[in-house]
């Protein structure tokens, strides 16, 4: 009996989190950590998953696939290629991997954009929010310029990205942080709108710098983005500690990546300082 095995990568937000929810573009990169899914036809739907995995996404993919294509009866085996605690977008990666596996299993040809649209609907229906940038990273890999809900997805020709990732050890609920920003925007609409506007401009500039590999300038831009994230109230002491340590050890720029309040920081680092920055982040508790 035919079996299909598919994996999809996690993501990091390079520039533009939160602003992307309000229609500004963002820059997203896939990471080399992947979620794996295996499927084969079966008498009825069955799911084998690691303990603690949020199965809502798997179930919703199966439900939507059946509704749209009339196909069901699948055994699904999922494997964690990375922890769901990092904020690397494990739910989006599982959703994309399983969706792609089902299309292959039932020999239905689809484009990347169709795979994005199908997977994004699944994630939206389960989470009720989200720009979809994590789904784009899982579908397209590499680095992309992204506008919410996939209104624009441009794959950028970026082959290298000198980045160090530091994990705070703190798990955050994205929905809560997104809600806090929405509240701040309600209270101080003009201020927040102006900040988001600035982030949009940074992303356009960052897109050019990435393509031209102007790393130091890109690093500076990341730090400027972090300043706005601070004003939006989504940074934290722990994030700041890791960012400060990375900068002191010679990073060209550093910021939180994702919703904020926890998860990860990213630091742009030249090869000569990489080891020092990694060590400094560890020493600071990352
Ligand atoms: C969270 O990782 C990034 C946000 O912009 C939410 C989203 O784009 O879905 C805060």
Residue nearest to atom 9 of ligand 1 (CA): 130
How many angstroms does the Cα of residue 280 sit away from the middle of ligand 1? Answer: 27
Q: Which structure tokens are listed for 227?
A: 């300043």
- Indicate if ligand 1 lies below 6 Å from the C-beta of 62: no
pTM of the model: 0.96
What does the pLDDT read at residue 1?
A: 57
Pairwise CA distance, residues 97 & 90, whole Å: 10
Tens-of-pLDDT digits for all 286 residues of the chain? 589 999 999 999 999 999 999 999 999 999 999 999 999 999 999 999 998 888 999 999 999 999 999 999 999 999 988 888 888 889 999 999 999 999 999 999 999 999 999 999 999 999 999 999 999 999 999 999 999 999 999 999 998 899 999 999 999 899 999 999 999 999 999 999 999 999 999 999 999 999 999 999 999 999 999 999 999 999 999 999 999 999 999 999 999 999 999 999 999 999 999 999 999 999 999 9
User: What are the residues facing 155 on neighbouring strands?
Assistant: 144
What phi and psi values does residue 93 have, to the nearest 5 degrees? -65, -40
Active-site amino acid positions:
134
List, for residues 146-205, the tens digit of each pLDDT value. 999 999 999 999 988 999 999 999 998 999 999 999 999 999 999 999 999 999 999 999
Tell me the best of 29, 133, 225 to mutate to test the pocket of ligand 1, counting ligand atoms within 8 Å of each CB and taking the most.
133
Cβ(196) – ligand 1 distance below 6 Å: no
Task: Tell me the CA–centroid distance for residue 129 and ligand 1, in Å.
Answer: 9
Ligand 1 atom with minimal separation from the 132 CA: 9
Among 124, 127, 129, 178, the mutation site with the greatest number of ligand 1 atoms within 8 A of its Cβ is 178
Using CA atoms, how far apart are residues 23 and 18, in angstroms rounded to an integer? Answer: 9
Q: Is the CB of 206 under 6 A from ligand 1?
A: no
Name 5's bridge partners.
Answer: 38
For residue 146, which of 232, 7, 19, 10 has the smallest C-alpha distance?
Answer: 19
CA dist., res. 68 & res. 118, Å (int): 10
Residue closest by Cα to atom 2 of ligand 1? 258
DSSP assignment string, the chain: --EEEEEEEEEEEEE-TTGGGGT--EEEEEEEEEEEEEEEE-SS-EEE--TT--THHHHHHHHHHHHHH----EEEEEE-SS-TTSSS-HHHHHHHHHHHHHHHHTT----HHHHHHHHHHHHHHHHS---SHHHHHHHH-SEEEEEGGGTEEEEE------EEEEE-S----HHHHHHHHHHHHHHSHHHHHHHHHHHHHHHHHHHHHHHTT-HHHHHHHHHHHHHHHHHTT---HHHHHHHHHHHHTT-SEEEEESSSSSSEEEEE--GGGHHHHHHHHHHTT-
How far, in Å, is the centroid of ligand 1 from the Cα of 121?
Answer: 16
CB of 174 sitting under 6 A from ligand 1: yes
How close is the Cα of 132 to the center of ligand 1, in Å?
8
Ligand 1 within 6 A of 258 CB? yes
């Amino acid at each position: 009996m035919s079996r299909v095995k598919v994996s999809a990568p996690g993501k990091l937000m390079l520039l533009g989190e939160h602003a992307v929810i309000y229609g500004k573009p963002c820059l997203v990169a896939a990471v080399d950590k992947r979620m794996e899914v295996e499927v084969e036809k079966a008498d009825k739907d069955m799911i084998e998953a690691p303990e603690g995995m949020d199965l809502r996404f798997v179930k919703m993919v199966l439900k939507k696939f059946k509704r749209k294509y009339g196909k069901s009866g699948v055994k699904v085996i999922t494997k964690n290629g990375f922890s769901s605690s990092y904020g690397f977008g494990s739910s989006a990666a599982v959703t994309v991997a399983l969706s792609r596996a089902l299309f292959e299993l039932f020999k239905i040809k689809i484009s990347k954009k169709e795979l994005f649209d199908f997977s994004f609907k699944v994630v939206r229906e389960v989470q009720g929010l989200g720009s979809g940038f994590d789904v784009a990273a899982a579908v397209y890999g590499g680095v992309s310029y992204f506008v919410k809900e996939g209104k624009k997805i441009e794959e950028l020709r970026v082959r290298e990205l000198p980045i160090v990732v530091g994990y705070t050890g703190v798990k955050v609920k994205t929905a809560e942080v997104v809600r806090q920003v929405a509240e701040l925007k309600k209270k101080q609409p003009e201020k927040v709108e102006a900040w988001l506007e600035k982030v949009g401009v940074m992303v356009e500039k960052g897109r050019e710098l990435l393509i031209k590999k102007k790393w130091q300038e890109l690093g500076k831009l990341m730090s400027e983005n972090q300043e706005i994230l601070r004003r939006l109230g989504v940074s934290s002491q722990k994030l700041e500690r890791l960012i400060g340590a990375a900068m002191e050890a010679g990073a060209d720029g550093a910021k939180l990546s994702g919703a904020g309040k926890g998860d990860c920081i990213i630091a742009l680092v030249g090869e000569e300082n990489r080891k020092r920055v990694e060590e400094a982040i560890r020493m600071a508790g990352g």
